[in-house]
Structure 1
Amino acid sequence: MQPSALPLPHVAAPFGAVAPECAADAGSWCSRVWSWTGMSWLARGADATVSVLFSVIGIVLVALIVRFVVNRVIAQISAGAGVPGLMSLLRRGRGVTDAESIEAFGSARRAQRARTVGSVLRSAATILIFGTAFMMVLSRFGVNLAPVLASAGVLGLAVGFGAQNLVKDFISGIFMLLEDQYGVGDHVDLGDAVGTIEHVGLRTTSVRDVSGVVWYVRNGTIERVGNASQDHAVAVVDVPLELDTDVEEAGRVAEKAAREAVGEGLARDVIDPPRVLGVQAVTESALTLRLTTKTRPNRQWAVKRAITERVVSDLRTASAPTGTATAA
């Protein structure tokens, strides 16, 4: 025979203690606490206390689970897994397809942008989830939330007025990232600074100019952005010629020289072949012949230097025996 289960421990009630009415319910926490402690005041609040305790534990567990799931979803979105719609939204408006957006997302710039935006979204989700859970816990303890919310609103308003520049910088930084106005390695003109982007943060952007000076620009103060590295660039070559130059012949020589220049190690940097636009300007002493070619981002300067050297050299060679075209 198996031994019978041991009965719950029973503590004798103190002399004169009266069992509360709820102790008559054998399945209640009141009855159990009365049986264990013999304290009527503790037994009367047992049911409510245990109910609140389980509610608080449930709220905390649900908040942790929701935060874990949201963070995983944000991580998957930031990595670009199966969300072409979101990536096209981040990239929309520049005349590219979803496939091109997905391909571009794999670059270091897109990865950095995704990590930054993902970090912001995770922080915002954590504050929202745990803040809501905290309010629900307070309500379970019977706290009136109206004064708490009013105090929080007043405090937030005071902090907002005191740190409005900081808030402006952060909001501007978030929109700059979402709109992909610039990224690390881009050559930009921010008004206050012109150079290459070295770091993009939510509050500041650092730019190194041609002299090597690093400028830290607050995002909230940036009113315009000129980006010379967005999607593609254009190499513009202006060649000065003498006024009596045969422009048509000079254009043919210059275009041929430019195409040969980009074919010598720069073919992968050029998107469209060079072409002559014609005379750009005329002064009292010379005229300016302009050539352009579309290049990959940040490669326009190397292409421009190669084309300029080759065009000037070929124009001088062509003008030597015939006097047709002379580079000034």
Structure 2
Amino acid sequence: MFRGSMVAMVTPMHEDGAVDWDALGRLVEFHVNQGSDAIVAVGTTGESATLDYDEHCQVMRRVVEFAAGRLPVIGGTGANSTWEAIKLTRCAMEGGCDAALLVTPYYNKPTQEGLYLHFKAVADAVPIPQILYNVPGRTACDILPETVERLAEIPNIVAIKEAQGTVQRPREIIERCGDRLDVYSGDDGNAREIILAGGKGVISVSANVAPALMHAMCMAALDGKREEAEAIDARLAALHKALFVESNPIPVKWAVAQLGLVGTAIRLPMTPLSEHHHETVRQAMILAGVLE
């Protein structure tokens, strides 16, 4: 349904922790102008864990308003309570989002049957297109390929963001599900390989900082231009790594601030990027050509 570089966009904040709506508008314009293929609002990188329900819904709605139909908006609506996930997903639909991104329920460690029934319940309750999101390194919950294959039979479950950490996992899902389910990388470092293997794109942290390059890399890979995709990705390799020197979104929020688009404020328990990492991230941005 979507393809290319879908930016997992940061949520800008004032020093007191309030959402910076002016900066949010600037970010959306930046991504429209720089070629991002879609915006994911209030995902992990958007600090979904520390925004309350009303803020969550308002950010999704405002991103839709700022985008004004110029690129798709995907709302992050996952929760470890099925009821809460339904409520957030309904909010995304009513706010005009084109799809919802639902992370696996974290902390409570459901069974594979529980995962199937959780995602089915959300899909049955809210008709918006839905993207599964698997990131066991954060959630302590891994949705297995056979469960994904079952969920692919549900019409409005259209894709999965796979961030299990290997290339083999998304390849297996592609083999199992074929055209019934789009597969997106959830790791910038392996996005090129996954797209060349049949994936449709990446939900990207690096695209916050280098959206034009991420778009170009994805388009080259989608067109089967392996050498071109590899050359672009080589410019981005240091950035992919540097944006995880501390937990996401700490480094990327600092990096976007260096572009003059947002401030450096971040909500506890996250803290601003440690000073000894500043030069590492700055040099990666220089190598990518986004900072002088």
TM-score bucket (shorter structure)? under 0.3
TM-score (norm 2): 0.21
Higher relative contact order (Cα pairs below 8 Å, separated by 6+ residues): 2
TM-score (norm 1): 0.19
